[in-house]
Amino acid sequence: MRDARLAISTGQGWNDRMNDTGSGELKEKYNRYIFRKVMFVVICIVGIVAIAGFSVTIGSRDIGFFRAYELIWEHIKGTTYALGSLDWWDDDIVWNSRLPRVCMAIIAGAALAIAGAAMQSVMKNPLADPYTTGISSGAVFGVTLALVLGFTASGASQYGLVLNAFIFSLIPTGIIIMMSKFTNASPATMILAGVAVSFFFNGLTTLLMVGTDADTLANAYLWQIGTLENAVWTSIPLMFVVTLVGSAFLLFTSRQLNILSLGDDSAKSLGMDAQNYRLICMLIISFMIASIISFTGIIGFVGLVAPHIARLTLGGDNRYVIPAAMAFGALFMLAADMLARIVVYPGEMPVGIIISFVGGPIFLYLILKQKRGAL
């Protein structure tokens, strides 16, 4: 800057020089700024890979850290072992019982976090999370209906609970979208509609719960806590595809999310249909979350906190918050699930409980440490 001022005073070619030094400095600053954000995501991804390996080693059968990667790599290459041999057992346990769980943790964490980040931006409310539109209340009602009254949408198949949860969790969003045809789809209205719908479904659930016997009530209650215990390969493809498509959409439209945060009027003057975009986002988020919680139960906190943690460390630009939240959510969920299996070994604890125990204090700490204006 001093150079520039000097140049002005001498009046010689100051224009050129000012541009050179100023933009160079700016560029460097900007690069550093971007570098930090990219580093955050990279660190999260490295963490995911490391913890995934460690997570696979936990269990009654002893399999080493590097051995775990080796087994996975060999399986991908298509190596087969003699039936019943030691390697065969190792492979079977890693591939069929431990790895699905790791995959599910990563997908669920990523999906919940990205959905939360998008929901908070779309609704312009730091309290919003993936369940703001009432998705969880619908799912819980569907499951309670199946457990208490034996009513399922698919007859008596083994997927009765899952299908019930999936179908009923889409109803609240459906109601809100229908409602927005009759009234304005401002964030406040939509949040309140979501609250109303969830209260309604919660009321129905309570109605069923208070009328049933204690054992069924306990069953229905435990479903709600959320666990990754029941992970199998067959449940992965649906949630993977839906999450992939949903996150791709949200990542590519993160600029629109930024525009949306300026307010609906500014968005309109920039040529964007804010209400329409909001509805599309809601629909995508609902499908993503429904496909996950129908397998895992209601896992709270990740969807609310992971985006905030990303925002608190990186600032509010959605182009970076969305991928960062996604990476952090996956890491967080994976680590929590690992802890869930370590702390009460050889038993385990639902991952939802661990997440709250660990995430709560971290979140508090970050709020205390926050720089102004990140939220």
Residues that bind another protein (CB under 8 A): 125-127, 175, 179, 182-184, 186, 188-189, 191-193, 195-197, 199-200, 202-204, 206-207, 209-210, 213-215, 217-218, 221-222, 225, 300-301, 304-305, 308, 349-350, 352-357, 359-361, 363-364, 367-368, 370, 372, 375
SS3 of residue 157 by DSSP = coil
Between 21 and 275, CB nearer to another protein = 275
Of 143, 102, 130, 83, nearest in space to 330 by CA? 102
Could you tell me the smallest distance in angstroms from the CB atom of residue 364 to another protein? 5
Report yes or no: 168 and 139 within 8 Å, Cβ to Cβ.
yes
Could you tell me the smallest distance in angstroms from the CB atom of residue 308 to another protein? 7
Could you tell me the smallest distance in angstroms from the CB atom of residue 192 to another protein? 6
Query: What's the DSSP call for residue 265?
Result: H
Between 104 and 190, CB nearer to another protein = 190
- How many H helices and E strands in the chain? 16, 0
Between 30 and 199, CB nearer to another protein = 199
Of 138, 120, 178, nearest in space to 322 by CA? 120
Could you tell me the smallest distance in angstroms from the CB atom of residue 136 to another protein? 13
Between 154 and 202, CB nearer to another protein = 202
DSSP element (H, E) containing 198? helix 187-211
Could you tell me the smallest distance in angstroms from the CB atom of residue 344 to another protein? 10
Query: What's the DSSP call for residue 179?
Result: H
Between 99 and 351, CB nearer to another protein = 351
Report yes or no: 95 and 232 within 8 Å, Cβ to Cβ.
no
Cα gap 70→369, rounded to integer Å: 41
